Amino acid sequence: MGSENGTAPSLPRRRLDPTVGKARKMVAELLGLSTTGKYTPTQHPPLVLVGCSGGPDSLALAAVTAFFASRGEIQVGAVVVDHQMQAGSAEVAQRTAGQLRSLGLDPVRVSQVEVENRGDGPEAAARAARFTALEEAARDLGAETVLLAHTQNDQAESVLLGLARGSGPRSLAGMRERRGLYARPFLGLRRDETLAICEALDLDPWHDPANSDENYLRVRVRHTVLPFLRAELGPAVTESLARTASILGHDADFLDELASEQYARISEHVPASQADDAQVRLNEEALRALAPALRMRVLALAVVELGGLQPSYERLVGAASLLERKGSAGPVQMAGKVSVWRISRAKGVLQDASGYGKLVFRRSP
């Protein structure tokens, strides 16, 4: 019904759900965007991609981020990775892609990947395949940022898994809010809040049956360990674990930076030749002079530099023990086909003299 002056009555403005508003603020702060009514559309907005499985967390992130695309501040696209590990995964991926396009995301890419388990378990293999697909999409589409929807609950689970594995402060530091290509704006958001966002925005998320499969350690942590800790230690334990990760993350970043500086100072890179594979050599005396926290990180950097995997603490201890040997010793097998051995200065072997008094890392073909 019209008003007295013949104009149509204005419709009441829909109240913004407080959880949606909270999530928008998190995305805006991480990307440097405005959360107020004052904003500036850009002629060529940068492309931001959202890694989306179709689950509540990533679908909520996609919908919240799409708000900023509607204002012209950024362009928002998505990558849906089909791991092909479950029956009907292709249909789930296409359904998710359709829902993302209906939210205004463009471009939306569906990437099918082959998951190769190289001994680290199916979760690690799927993660490696997923990140490869995300990086390829970002490179092909020209995106400098990929948003991931890990929540405070995911962070707490990562800390507990790191404790169980005894894998040191870097693992206990969990996931960083921003690292390289990737950004995680929801690390301060609980999982039940992403469900609330989906409900508030009338989203229809997919619930992955693998998240209820007790064969996965993370699922057991989620459904058994954390509920027990909350019951015994109080409901704030999830937030406390996530806060611990944040604190340790800053410490680990500082130590990693120092280790990178020392690695650049004491490492020698020997390119591959017809007679031998590429090598990294680390001066023994310089290694011994480093604090243990830096020494272990420098050893790990040599392994990764050669294309190996991040080594476990036990393997790093094995490599460091070569420094205590009197003569030539090794090899010690590291992760990813990398081996390390020690060449003594006093050992009369047919080796390049520059290799003496050093730990030598080499990756087998």
- For residue 351, the model assigns a pLDDT of 46
- Alpha-carbon span 48 to 236, nearest angstrom: 33
- Alpha-carbon span 170 to 160, nearest angstrom: 13
Position 211: which residue type?
N
- For residue 326, the model assigns a pLDDT of 62
Q: Percent of the chain, pLDDT > 90?
A: 58
**pLDDT tier for residue 167 given thresholds of 50, 70 and 90:** low
Indicate the pairing of strand 338-343 with strand 358-363. antiparallel
Q: Is the pLDDT of residue 36 over 50?
A: yes
Question: Cα dihedral angle (206, 207, 208, 213), rounded to 10 degrees?
Answer: -170
Does 54 appear as a known binding residue?
yes
**pLDDT tier for residue 1 given thresholds of 50, 70 and 90:** very low
Q: Is the pLDDT of residue 66 over 90?
A: yes
The per-residue pLDDT for range 172-215, each reduced to its tens digit, is 888 999 999 999 999 999 999 999 999 999 999 999 998 888 98
Of the listed ranges 19-23, 287-291, 348-352, the least confidently predicted one is: 348-352
Question: Cα dihedral angle (152, 158, 162, 163), rounded to 10 degrees?
Answer: 50
- Contact between 281 and 307 under an 8 Å Cβ cutoff? The reply is no
Give residues with Cβ within 8 angstroms of 156, minimum separation 6: 226, 237, 238, 239, 241, 242, 245
Does 251 appear as a known binding residue?
no
Does 89 appear as a known binding residue?
no
- Alpha-carbon span 44 to 4, nearest angstrom: 45
- For residue 3, the model assigns a pLDDT of 47
Q: Is the pLDDT of residue 9 over 60?
A: no
Indicate the pairing of strand 338-343 with strand 329-333. antiparallel
Position 220: which residue type?
R
Q: Percent of the chain, pLDDT > 70?
A: 88
Long-range contacts: 170-177, Cβ < 8 Å, 24+?
A: 170/252, 170/256, 172/244, 172/245, 172/248, 173/245, 173/248, 173/249, 173/251, 173/252, 174/242, 174/245, 174/246, 174/248, 174/249, 175/150, 175/245, 176/249, 176/253, 177/30
The backbone region for 44, taken as left when phi is positive above 0, alpha when psi lies in -120 to 50, beta otherwise, is beta
Of the listed ranges 130-134, 148-152, 230-234, 349-353, the least confidently predicted one is: 349-353
Does 209 appear as a known binding residue?
no
Q: What would the mean pLDDT of 31-48 be, rounded to a whole number?
A: 81
Burial of 101 (0-12, 13-18, 19+ CB in 10 A): middle
Does 167 appear as a known binding residue?
no
Of the listed ranges 37-41, 214-218, 261-265, 345-349, the least confidently predicted one is: 345-349
| Domain covering 18-250 assigned CATH 3.40.50.620 in the classification | yes
Task: Please count the CA atoms within 13 angstroms of the CA of 88 that sit on its side-chain side.
Answer: 6
Q: Is the pLDDT of residue 221 over 60?
A: yes
- For residue 5, the model assigns a pLDDT of 52
Spans of all domains in the chain: 18-250, 271-363
User: What are the angstrom distances between the C-alpha of 100 and each of 12, 90, 194?
Assistant: 27, 15, 16
- Contact between 182 and 44 under an 8 Å Cβ cutoff? The reply is no
Does 58 appear as a known binding residue?
yes
